[in-house]
Amino acid sequence: MLVLLLLLSPLQYGDTFDPGCSFMNGQCQYSVKLGHEGQCDTQTTTATTASTSCCAAVQNDVTLVKASMAFMTKRIEELENTKGVRPTSPYGDLSVEQLQKLLLEKDDALRNITKQASDEISLLQSELDTCRKRPGCVRSTTTSTTTTTAIPVVNYNLTFCDFESFSSCGYTQASNNTAKWYRGGGRPSSVTGPWNDHTIGTPNGHYMYIDPHRSALWYKRETAALIETPLFNPSPDYCVQFWYNMAGRDIQDLNVYAKVGNGLGYPVWTRSGQVSAKWQLGEIDIGSEYTSMPFQLVFEGTSRSYYEHVFASDPIYHDTYGKIAIDDIYVYNTTCQNLPDCPPGAYRRTGNGSRSCYTFHTTSARWSRCHEACKEENSASHLVAIDSEEEQKFLINIIKNDPALTAAGSSGFFTSGNDEETENNFRWTGMDTPYSISYTNWYPGQPNNVGSNQHCLLMEYPNADYEWGDIECSSAFPYICEVDLPVASPATTAST
């Protein structure tokens, strides 16, 4: 099987379209024979991360072909945008009609190759799935600080909602309640509620919250706002993970129900009173008593706010500092214990008091979408935050030893760093609490905020070991996700 990895050079009039090479450090070097080292004439590739198992070659093939498709898709978009525009050098006196004809020929050829690559990915993925089911077949790579995580084969479905697009989640409000959940962003109050959402961690992100001021009654009585998920199909077990924020002196209750039929029953999870200004992770295992039949999850936030009239003055409100918020809800049809701590294909980093795992994505996306994609991997996942020179070098080493990543990252990789909230005050966001950047690795002259619209941090310069630059958040780039793992205590480490 032969799959071609390509990226077109600037078009020259009279060129013939003859794809057949891939990229390494930004240079066209070789064709790729799947399952073998790539070679083009006498040049050979740098070996990808070492692996000793039966599945490694197929896994590498899948990665390479996916990287190829990402580049071809991006190039097709560039060609589409170029049509109808009269070029300057190096196209010389080429007419618009001649240019369009040449572009269409190359465009059609790219589309045909993209379709072939898509078919190859399907076949390779099937081969990879079959390989992983063979007894004793474990994909693993180990150095002093790096491991390509061997993820157990676990079959489960995930339903995820981050409220960035509320309608896509299919959640509904209970119609018979005066109190409601509202979709918000940033911090609606200086004394209650989250500073920002959990998904992105900037004022542009969203979450759901109850507003005691809006739901206050003219007499003191508890009110409840209920939001319901769509129905979930029967399964022996379910695991629910979600992030919640309960900050404010008048916080009441956050309850979660597993609703079967029309009855709520008792809560399967509850918290009361002020917990923390940080986002907290809630986790629930729901057993077959609920899950043997279709059921819904119901999130209930309560308040005891009220108001009173004093003569002809405006109403006086009481107990309104009780905004409860939820974000990033994960529902798996398996037990919580069955979930891996790192996503499939992750690289694990240990040492120097740190334990993290990373996944590298060759498909380009806008910065906000990269945040969402990372969240979909794992309840603790976020766009990468680089806290040390050692971590920067760790990431660079992985990229440089993988031709697909080197090719995909020719223009850089998105991180979670940004100064969207305060200009030139860069922070790592998308975690339980955003925090300021201490270690920096800016390229000379960066950040420069060209056009007053560059607010996102990119590992931008491959030829300078991916030193950083700021870039428009609306741009599309590959990205790296990170999961921060608990650091074992010395006593625990000694006993394992």
pLDDT of residue 106: 64
- Which phi and psi angles does 52 have, rounded to 5°? -110, 10
Q: Report the candidate in 8, 143, 133 with the shortest Cα–Cα distance to residue 71.
A: 8
Q: How far apart are CA 418 and CA 436, in angstroms?
A: 10
Q: What's the number of CA atoms in the CB half-sphere (13 Å) around residue 58?
A: 19
Handedness of CA 72, 342, 129, 232 (dihedral sign): negative
- Which strand (E) or helix (H) includes residue 239? strand 238-246
Share of the chain above pLDDT 70, in %: 67
Supply 132's token pair: 């992983």
Same structural domain for residues 67 and 90?
yes
Same structural domain for residues 197 and 62?
no
CATH of the domain at 189: 2.60.120.200
b vs e for 421-443, b when ≥16 Cβ sit within 10 Å of the residue's Cβ? beeeebbbbbbbbbeebeeebbb
pLDDT digits (tens, 9 = 90+) for 21-63: 443 333 333 333 333 333 333 333 333 333 334 455 555 566 5
Q: How far apart are CA 68 and CA 62, in angstroms?
A: 10
Q: Considering the domain boundaries, does residue 195 fall inside one?
A: yes
Handedness of CA 428, 432, 435, 439 (dihedral sign): negative
Categorize the per-residue pLDDT at 217 as very low, low, confident or very high, splitting at 50, 70 and 90.
confident
Same structural domain for residues 105 and 75?
yes
Q: Considering the domain boundaries, does residue 18 fall inside one?
A: yes
- Which phi and psi angles does 380 have, rounded to 5°? -105, 10
| 8 A C-beta contact, residue 66 and residue 404 | yes
pLDDT digits (tens, 9 = 90+) for 119-171: 666 666 666 666 655 554 444 333 435 666 555 556 789 999 999 986 779 99
Residue 148's DSSP bridge partners are 141, 347
pLDDT of residue 313: 77
Share of the chain above pLDDT 90, in %: 58
Same structural domain for residues 327 and 411?
no
pLDDT at 3 over 80: no
Q: How far apart are CA 108 and CA 384, in angstroms?
A: 37
Same structural domain for residues 456 and 417?
yes
CATH of the domain at 415: 3.10.100.10
pLDDT digits (tens, 9 = 90+) for 338-359: 999 999 899 999 877 778 999 9
- Residue listed under structure tokens 């309104």: 320
Same structural domain for residues 56 and 177?
no
Same structural domain for residues 329 and 413?
no
β 324-332/158-161 pair status? antiparallel
257/81: higher pLDDT: 257
53/383: higher pLDDT: 383
Please, what is the average pLDDT of the chain?
79
Same structural domain for residues 285 and 376?
no
- The separation between the first and the last C-alpha atoms of the chain, rounded to the nearest angstrom, is 45
- Which phi and psi angles does 38 have, rounded to 5°? -70, 145
Q: Considering the domain boundaries, does residue 225 fall inside one?
A: yes
Q: How far apart are CA 469 and CA 457, in angstroms?
A: 6
pLDDT of residue 318: 93
Residue-range definition of the domain harbouring residue 383: 347-484
Q: Report the candidate in 395, 224, 204, 188 with the shortest Cα–Cα distance to residue 300.
A: 224
- Residue listed under structure tokens 């597993």: 258
- Which phi and psi angles does 146 have, rounded to 5°? -125, 135
- Which phi and psi angles does 126 have, rounded to 5°? -65, -45
Same structural domain for residues 291 and 367?
no
| 8 A C-beta contact, residue 480 and residue 486 | no
Q: Considering the domain boundaries, does residue 148 fall inside one?
A: no
Q: Considering the domain boundaries, does residue 149 fall inside one?
A: no
Three-state secondary structure call for residue 225: strand
Domain-terminating residue out of 139, 171, 200 = 139
| 8 A C-beta contact, residue 273 and residue 425 | no
| 8 A C-beta contact, residue 237 and residue 322 | no
Supply 315's token pair: 């109403």
The domain tally of the chain equals 3
pLDDT at 483 over 80: yes
Q: Considering the domain boundaries, does residue 72 fall inside one?
A: yes
Domain-terminating residue out of 298, 319, 338 = 338
Domain-terminating residue out of 279, 311, 338 = 338
**How big is the chain, counted in residues?**
496
Q: Considering the domain boundaries, does residue 153 fall inside one?
A: no
pLDDT digits (tens, 9 = 90+) for 66-90: 666 665 666 566 555 555 544 444 4
> How many distinct helices (H) and strands (E) make up the chain?
9, 30
> For the whole model, what pTM was predicted?
0.71
Same structural domain for residues 321 and 187?
yes
Q: Around Cβ 479, how many Cβ atoms within 10 Å? A: 29
Same structural domain for residues 450 and 373?
yes
Q: Considering the domain boundaries, does residue 489 fall inside one?
A: no
β 427-428/435-436 pair status? antiparallel
Distance of CA 67 to the CA centre of its chain: 18
Three-state secondary structure call for residue 455: coil
Same structural domain for residues 7 and 130?
yes
